[in-house]
Each structure stands twice: as C-alpha cells, then as structure tokens.
Amino acid sequence: MSTVVSEAPGTPAEEAGLQPFNVTLLVRRYDPESGRDAYWEDFDVPMYPTDRVLDALHRIKWDQDGTLTFRRSCAHGICGSDAMRINGRNRLACKTLIKDLDISKPIYVEAIKGLPLEKDLIVDMEPFFAAYRAVNPFLVAGSEPEPGKERVQSIEDRERFDDTTKCILCAACTTSCPVFWTDGQYFGPAAIVNAHRFIFDSRDDQAEVRLDILNDTEGVWRCRTTFNCTDACPRGIQVTKAIAEVKSAIRSGKVK
C-alpha cells in the first residue's frame, strides 16, 4: 500500500501564481534596556499586494529579527491590540493592506503617540484604561425587571447609541488627538465615546453622573473638534459627533 504525501497549501496569492515583491518597512525601534534613544530601522520584506502590514511585521519577527516587539491577537480587526502609526496615521496593522499604501516609498511604522513607550511598538495602555474606567462604562439600572423578563428597549432607543457600541478600545482615536498628546489629564475621545454609549441608553439611570464627570476642565470641553479621532477610528464610529452630543446634553441637561 502506497502513501501519498501532499504539500501544504500556500497562501491564496501563491496559489494564484502571484510573485512577491520587496517592500521596505522603516520601523521605529526602542529598547529601554539598551540606554539608546528611539531610532528607525529598515527591513526589506517579500510581500503580496493582499498582505497586511501585520503580515510584514510577522515576517520580520519570524525571519529577520526576533527581538521586534508588538501587540497583536485576533488579527481580524476585533481585538484592537495592534493599533499603531502607519505612514503617520493611526491604523490597525491587521486591517491595513499593502496594496492600499504607496510601496514606491518606505512604509513607516511606529507606536501610537501620547502614551508611555515601553518597547518598539508597545505602549503602556494603563493611562488610557484609567480614563475609560473613570466614566463608569457599564449599565447602571435602578430597578430590576420583572422575574423572567428582560429590560425592554425599543428599536429607536437602541439606535440612539448604536454607533458608540462599536468601540473596541484600540486607542486609535485617543492617541490621534493633539490635545491628548499635550495634556495627560484629558479623558480622550475613547472614554467619552464609551460614556456616550451609556448616557443615551434608555435603560441606564446614571447619565447625570457621567455628564457631571465629563463636565470638567479635562472632560469634553478640551475637545477642539479636529476630527482626527473620527478619521482614525477603524470601526467607523462618528467620534466627534458623539462628543458633540455629550456637550449638548451637558448644556441642556437632557439626554433621553
């Protein structure tokens, strides 16, 4: 009896007969143990047009320099862990295709700004999550539903805050904000977005508490409406609009 051994299938690009081409990545490196300031290092990586920047970083780490350090998890734009600056713009590396970039020039990759740099493309996310926790990002309902029943909400009421439920806490919006870069006390767009999600939820009873938290010198009034946050959001959330709605609710005292 003979045994047939088949080769493992290649990538869709390889199976389609496409040929890889070299792409140059300039990655901003930083190792706190080296005593050296951050610096740019270039890598030439064979890529296909349908590959992502995350694929390029994997190939560098696996084949060229195992010390390259970055975060990633799901690799499908859900976890938000691989947010970084690509050609000067905050993006998710797993959603940024090589074919959508100008590969006639080097692709610049660096850590997101405004948070403490730990190593290479990794920043300390604790200040970001501290601001997120400060706005009470959870449902606070004053009364329990009847036994065996759910809290009823109309389609219209759900649509009121539907956009801001899409946040994946990647920090792309917050770390694209010039105010956040220069003011470490500012809550930042992501925290306000997650407050918005509950402020306008008809089932929640603590909208006034969150509005009071955000009606602060480091709250919504620090927003300068540059739309950087909206442009950076990989989920397409209208971040600047959400911030404006929170400002309006503070002024009018009306949320529902």
Domain at 13-123: CATH code: 3.10.20.30
Would you state the pLDDT for residue 254?
Answer: 67
- The model carries a pTM of 0.89
Alpha helices by DSSP H, the chain: 12-15, 53-59, 126-134, 155-159, 178-182, 189-199, 207-214, 228-232, 239-252
Q: Which amino acid is at 236?
A: G
CATH 1.10.1060.10 in the chain, residues? 126-252
Angle separating helix axes 207-214 and 239-252, nearest 10 degrees: 100
CATH 3.10.20.30 in the chain, residues? 13-123
- The class of domain 126-252 in CATH terms is mainly alpha
**Cα–Cα distance measured from residue 189 to residue 228, given in angstroms and rounded to the nearest whole number:** 10
Q: Do 64 and 29 touch, CB atoms closer than 8 A?
A: no
**Cα–Cα distance measured from residue 160 to residue 164, given in angstroms and rounded to the nearest whole number:** 9
> What length does the chain have?
256
The tokens describing 124, both together, are 């300390």
Number of H helices, E strands in the chain: 9, 7
- Report the candidate in 242, 238, 164, 152 with the shortest Cα–Cα distance to residue 197: 164
Given pLDDT bands bounded at 50, 70 and 90, which one contains residue 219?
very high
Question: In this predicted model, what pLDDT tens digit does every residue of 228-246 receive, in sequence order?
Answer: 999 999 999 999 999 999 9
